[in-house]
Structure 1
Amino acid sequence: MALSRIRQYGDPALRMKAREVEDFDDDLLRLVERMTTLMHEAQGVGLAATQVGVLRRLFVYVDEDEDRVLLNPAIVTSSMETAAEDEGCLSLRGVLVPVERHIKVTLEGLDERGAAVRTEIEGPTARVVQHELDHLDGVLIIDRTDDESRRGALATLRPQPVLGAAAPR
């Protein structure tokens, strides 16, 4: 059921660039809570607001078994070392493609209350936050993989917008 509420490949929201979060209010807190719950229900490790049709720069993720949120995120430093590993996506059901990512990144942004956050992340979680940050810019894993893997993924995907979903906001 959770995946039915996450925008799927073909939904225009997945290709739109999100706007910065400006209002730190109860609506935002409810959105963060809803996204965190949805991420866990879908057995994911990260979820961007664009994946639920909200065009704001925020994502939730799991880091060392703790739920985290980052608003208006930006990578300020990244390791020179990268690694290619298979990635999947809650918005591209059944697709697993190799994606090259930095193995360590430093991010700056805000928490859900508007307080400044700076965090250094490495390993699998660094991959997750780079993936989610891509979503906020309308970039999908099929855009970051090699041509052969992209062709294979596109052959299995059909645009599947969420039935009855509201327009992105």
Structure 2
Amino acid sequence: MAMREIRVVPDPVLRTACDEITTVDDRVRSLVEDLLDTVDAEGRAGLAANQIGVSLRAFSWNIDDEVGYVLNPRLVAVSDEQQDGDEGCLSVPELFYPTTRAWYARVEGVDLDGNEVVVEGTDLMARCLQHECDHLDGKLYLDRLERGTRKKAMRELRERL
């Protein structure tokens, strides 16, 4: 379909929890095509529907040459083992901050045909799964930063707006 414009903070759609998809219709099929087209660009690892202005529970990913999507994802498992690393977000352009995430994550949802989808991984895939599920709950990675780092990030964000 189309590469869609990315919504950036302070757009309120980014802070609103997304609705479950109850019916797969042409609108949802178009949304999935747009998510896949939009995530399939250099430097993009994941994209939640609300980042393109659609408040439905769906996201796409583009990790290690694997591109996919999931509808109504639920984060069902994470490891106790943690990873630290800089994280960024298309909706918070050019700001990267150290963010702690679980080393492993597992998401369950469905595809356009109603078939169960299980997506799991470690390292970058785990980070992506957690990051995109947060988006669908109206949260940004900035919310997970340690207090001092978050304060610095919010100051830098205000200066850019």
Residue 43 of structure 1 and its aligned partner are, at CA, apart by 3.1
Which structure is higher in strand share?
2
Residue 51 of structure 1 and its aligned partner are, at CA, apart by 0.6
Residue identity opposite 2:46 in structure 1: G
Residue identity opposite 2:132 in structure 1: E
Q: Is 1:81–1:102's contact at 8 Å kept on the other side of the alignment?
A: yes
**Larger deviation, residues 16-25 vs 34-43:** 34-43
Q: Is 1:97–1:149's contact at 8 Å kept on the other side of the alignment?
A: yes
Alignment of 1:11-50 (within 5 A): 11-41=11-41, 43-50=43-50
Q: Does 1:149 align with 2:149?
A: yes
**Larger deviation, residues 21-30 vs 3-12:** 3-12
RMSD between superposed Cα atoms in Å: 2.2
Instruction: Map Cα deviations across residues 42-101 of structure 1 (whole Å, 9 max, x no partner).
Output: 631100001111111110002331211011111222111011211000000121111111
Structure 1 moving runs of 4+ over 3 Å: 158-161
Q: Is 1:6–1:52's contact at 8 Å kept on the other side of the alignment?
A: yes
SS where residue 93 of structure 1 aligns?
Answer: strand
Relative to structure 1, the CA distance from residue 115 to residue 88 in structure 2 (aligned partners, 3 Å threshold; closer, same or farther) is same
Q: Which residue of 2 aligns with 1:52?
A: 52
Question: What's the TM-score, normalizing by structure 1?
Answer: 0.86
Q: Is 2:3–2:37's contact at 8 Å kept on the other side of the alignment?
A: no
Structure 1 segments unaligned to the other structure (5+ residues): 162-169
**Larger deviation, residues 26-35 vs 45-54:** 26-35
State the distance in 1 between where 2:158 and 2:32 align.
29
Residue 109 of structure 1 and its aligned partner are, at CA, apart by 0.6
Q: Is 1:69–1:112's contact at 8 Å kept on the other side of the alignment?
A: no
Higher relative contact order (CA 8 A, sep 6+): 1
Q: Is 2:105–2:122's contact at 8 Å kept on the other side of the alignment?
A: yes
Q: Which residue of 1 aligns with 2:71?
A: 71
Question: What's the TM-score, normalizing by structure 2?
Answer: 0.90
